Chain A
Amino acid sequence: MKEKFTDKYDLVLFSTTIIMVAIGIVAIFSATFGNTGGTDFYLKQMVFGIIGLVIMVVISLLPPKYFSKFSYASYGFAIFLLILVLVFGKTINGNKSWFYIGGFGIQPSEFAKIATVMALANFLNPGDSEKNPNKMLDFIKACIFVLIPFALVKLQNDTGTSLVFLSFLLPIFFWAGLSPFVLFVIITPIALAILSFLGQIYFYAGLVVVLISLYFFKKGILLSSFVFIINLIAGFSVHFLYSKLQVYQQNRIMALFDPTLDPLGSGYNVIQSKVAIGSGGIFGKGLLQGTQTQLRFIPEQWTDFIFCMIGEEFGLIGASVIILLYLIIIIRLINNASTSRNKFLSLVCIGFASLFLFHLFINVGMTIGIMPVIGIPLPLVSYGVSSLLTFMAMIGIGMNTYRHRNLYL
């Protein structure tokens, strides 16, 4: 049987990625147009987009066994770099997460994202003996893989990026066979704590949902009531803990939920970005026509706040198209994960899909005021060499998974 070209090459991932990177370059061009310094950001992004393309294609062609083979080594190296940057790194905007090499800032925390996903996947599925995330010991060991980079990046004072390392943990566990009940036990107390914080009515509604779910899990009265009590405690203790905090700490937490409470800090950006996006309307103001973008009201809008410019100049239509393109990438990655016979690559793809979704939701969410302002980039679009190459390499591995989906190892 003759193989079709599209059986070997994942043209969906490939073409969507190229479109996204191209949109990013245009967006950066507009966001930095007329800047007094750094008008060449879009040129740099273009050069590294081409380099990233080569890397992506090369990665997609490699024999898949190399990925699992080198996953621990690359994880170790990434951790080493994260420690090194803590000691020798340069502080930019309060985050000590940069190396400066020949005029380029490099953030090891970006590369650590890939390495950690691969190490976690390799731990859960080293090829021969599968680990079971439902076993307490395996579960804890697997968590440690994630907690080390999480802690190191947190020490760099980069809370946003550190949270990224937690974002793919449960999805990968779930894909590896974590029972829905365990997942339920982990997630509901956190969800109820947040709900209880938002208001009593939400908390009681959440409790009802938990009760109903527990009935359907049919785990016996003892275990079910235990889980229910944990949820109750989570909901009530959050108020108690909150009342024990200093006023300024309480304010900081409130500002996470409502950034306008902090108009000098994160709230300033949110006010500005909502005005920018809202004023874009359905069709947008057109490239280089955005008053907010062109007047530079949003600091560093070519990095974490690039979506403002997209919303303002391309409108609802442009913004929705971009979000849908992400959805294509995410669903494609999930699809590749599900069709692959290589369990390791399958887990890796799910990890990457989670990373894309998390970045998309948090980044866009913060510019439209529904998520707290934590600085993480918009994948493939935000200006930044480390982040761009990292996400393109992820796509490369996603394409590789597709190409070798019928191989077991």
Chain B
Amino acid sequence: MDSAVRKYVFIGISILAVILLITRLVQLQVVQEKEFGKESQKNSIKKITETPARGLMFDRNGKVLVDNKPSYTLTITPFQFDKNLIDEVSSLIGEEPGYIKELLSKAKGTNRFNPVKVKRDIDFKLISYIEENRERLKGVSYQVESLRYYPIKFRGSHIFGYNGEITEKQLEEQDGTYYRQGDLVGSTGLERYYETYLRGEKGSKLISVDVNGREVGPYNDGMNDIKALNGSDLHLSLDADLQEYAEKLMLNKRGAIIAVDPRNGEILCMVSKPDFDLSIFSGTPDAKSIAKLFSDENKPVFNRVTQTKYPPGSTWKMMMGFAGLGSEKITTTSTIACGGSFTFGNRTFEDHGAYGSINLTRALEVSANVFFYKLSLMIGLDNYTKYSKMFGFGARTGIDLPHETSGLLPSTAYFNKVYGQNKWGQGLLVSLGIGQGELGVSPVQMVAYVSAICMDGIYNQPHFVKKVVNQTTSEEKMLQFTQRKIDFPQKYYDAVKKGMYLVVNGTGTAKNIRNSEYILAGKTGTAQNPNGNNHSWFVGYAPYGDPKIAVCVLGENAGWGNQFAAPIAAAIMVRYLSGNSADTYSESNVIKVND
């Protein structure tokens, strides 16, 4: 092809493109001019985003736990707003002028047409004032938003969690374009974990505005409007009455409780103390209370159920039993001689009694340390790690809350990393055998473990939410959680469970909590704490023959397991089994027996 021809091809295409553009302009500006002219005079369009109400949360009996209440949020739309009004508006909402300036400068670079949320939960008097001075206070307006409201007699701080204004970092990293500056987003707890269910879908309204900026009605009869869809409701397995009771038991204490239905992993109650009042985060956050909360040395925001990593103490001994049986180092009937102490190398490990030659069941009943020192050395670290993993240790349980810890489960690789290859000895195994030393577990891991034991090896993923119900379509979605089987011969489970039965109902370490009506089983534990008083543990389940509830209680620096944790755990189990009527807890029901 000749190069002159190529030149005319180029020029031809360019002219064609220009003709196309100008033709379209003629169509818009000459043929349709009247139509658009009318629209531009009367129907300039303004877009208003509608924020949906978040989904609610219900307990297992359909009681509302987390509700919404309507509130007013003051907004400023940057392109209409006159900066001279900053001082006046600041004093109206009781903030420094810098507060508004900062918010407006943050909004720079985004669509100046979008209202910036300035202050939540403002007074109705202020709304009337804005209405009366509408002409003067250009760009100042308000939106109706729903805020969280908790119609309950307990706190549930770590369960529900709170919502907070989205941070700049979250805005930048969000997947998609759903959130804008000033939006609320689930920050902790279920609010965060189920954010995409709870938030709903934003809607928008196009409103016709006249040349003076006054609203004259919906654009295109609202045909282009999109209704906001409220968030979906969460139906929890939580038992509100039991939760209230559990929180009362822990009043002014430090520690954690979690109880589940071992048959399916549904969480019945969960307490982490100290806790906090969620309502300080609702509305305009109470900055002083929040600052105090986050600087509190008792760490009330920290969820002790899912985030602590403490050694489990003697509650670990069932785990050792399974490791010994599984690796065939012992049988359910074989015995180990238990003198009053055990010497390994040049170190002597004490026990609180001499029991003679005893089998596993008896060793669990009396919590014989020497039995487990020896057993631990027999099975070795690799088996120790292998069998503990089967019960979910060293991994997250998958509870439906954010920030769960996987705890610390030692292994050969771990010790090689910490101490160096061959620079550590078998002596570490001795302490590990009784759940002390470099071993970290969380109460949620412990309750899943004791549930699996009482269910003869069926391990359920602990969870709060049973189903999600779409508010618009009423469609119900049952959430699926995992269940797996830990495969051991039935007699292994029987031997271990018998030991746990005897702890309470025999001559064991928790006979103080024996109950005449319900047969409880469990195991106490005391985790040595080099930084202070020991941590008190108890894991248990009831009724013995037909388990309906499994529980784990942790008392931080609370001393012996049977002293603090066991009575609380027993009270919870009895309360639940009695249909939330019996109250067996009394501070005096305490004995001091070493475990």
Contact with A along B213-254 (1 / 0, CB 8 A): 100000000001010000000000000000000000000000
Determine if A277 and B28 form an interchain contact, defined as CB atoms under 8 angstroms apart. Answer: yes
**Interface of chain B: mostly helix, strand, loop or mixed:** helix
CB pair B211 A278 closer than 8 Å: no
Q: Contact: B21 with A276, CB < 8 Å?
A: no
Residues from chain B with a CB closer than 8 A to the CB of A311 are 25, 28-29
Q: Are B35 and A36 in contact (CB under 8 A)?
A: no
Q: Which of A179, A260, A274 contacts B1 (CB 8 A)?
A: A179
Q: Chain A residues near B24 (CB, 8 Å)?
A: 365, 368-370
Contact with A along B98-114 (1 / 0, CB 8 A): 00000010001111110
**Shortest beta-carbon distance from A193 to chain B in Å:** 20
Q: Report if A232 contacts B (CB, 8 A).
A: no
A338 proximal to B (CB < 8 A): yes
Separation of A263 and B157 alpha carbons in the complex (Å):
40
Which of these, A180, A291, A312, A361, contacts B41 with CB under 8 Å? A291
Cβ of B478 within 8 Å of any chain A Cβ, yes or no, is: no
Q: Is A127 among interface residues, defined by CB-CB distance under 8 A?
A: no
- On chain B, the residues within 8 Å of A76 by CB distance are none
Nearest chain B CB to A251's CB is how many angstroms away? Answer: 13
The reply to whether the CB of B10 lies closer than 8 angstroms to some CB of chain A is yes
C-beta contact mask, A207-227 vs B, less than 8 Å → 1, else 0? Answer: 000000000000000000000
Q: Are the CB atoms of B36 and A316 closer together than 8 Å?
A: no
* Min C-beta distance of B539 to chain A, whole Å: 46
Task: Return the chain B residue nearest A96 by Cβ.
Answer: B172
**A253: Cβ under 8 A from any B Cβ:** no
Q: CB of A61 within 8 A of chain B?
A: no
Please determine whether B1 and A92 come into contact, CB atoms closer than 8 angstroms.
Answer: no
Out of A264, A274, A296, name the residue touching B36 (CB < 8 Å). Answer: A274
A171 in contact (CB, < 8 A) = yes
- Beta-carbon contact of A320 and B177 below 8 Å: no
Question: For residue B438, which residues in chain A have a CB less than 8 angstroms away from its CB?
Answer: none
Q: Which residues of B sit under 8 angstroms from A295, Cβ to Cβ?
A: 44, 209, 211, 213
Q: Which listed residue (B21, B39, B104) contacts A364, Cβ 8 A?
A: B21
B14: contacting residue among A299, A330, A369, CB under 8 A? A330
Is B181 an interface residue when CB atoms closer than 8 A count as contact? no
Q: B17: CB under 8 A from chain A?
A: yes
339-353 of chain B: CB within 8 A of chain A: none
Question: Beyond A275-B40, A368-B21, is A93–B110 a contact (Cβ under 8 Å)?
Answer: yes
Interface residues of A in 358-390 (CB under 8 A from B): 360-361, 364-365, 368-370
In terms of DSSP, what is the predominant structure of the interface of chain A?
Answer: helix
Q: Report the nearest B residue to A272, measured CB to CB.
A: B45
Which residues does chain B contribute within 8 Å of A36, judged by CB atoms? 78-83, 112
Instruction: Give A249-298 interface residues, CB cut-off 8 Å to B.
Output: 260, 263-264, 268, 271-272, 274-282, 291-292, 295-297
Q: How far is the CA of A11 from the CA of B14 in the complex (A)?
A: 21
User: Contacting B45 at CB < 8 Å: which of A271, A278, A319, A338?
Assistant: A271
Q: Smallest distance from the beta carbon of A285 to chain B beta carbons, Å?
A: 9
Task: Determine how close the nearest CB of chain A comes to the CB of B86; give it in whole angstroms.
Answer: 11
Using a CB–CB distance below 8 Å, which chain A residues touch chain B?
35-37, 91-94, 171, 174-175, 179-180, 260, 263-264, 268, 271-272, 274-282, 291-292, 295-297, 299-300, 311-312, 315-316, 319-320, 323-324, 326-327, 330-331, 334-335, 337-338, 350, 353, 357, 360-361, 364-365, 368-370
18 A-B residue pairs with Cβ-Cβ distance under 8 Å, sorted by A, are A36-B80, A36-B81, A36-B82, A36-B112, A275-B39, A278-B35, A279-B33, A280-B29, A282-B29, A291-B41, A291-B211, A295-B209, A296-B79, A296-B113, A299-B112, A334-B10, A353-B14, A360-B18
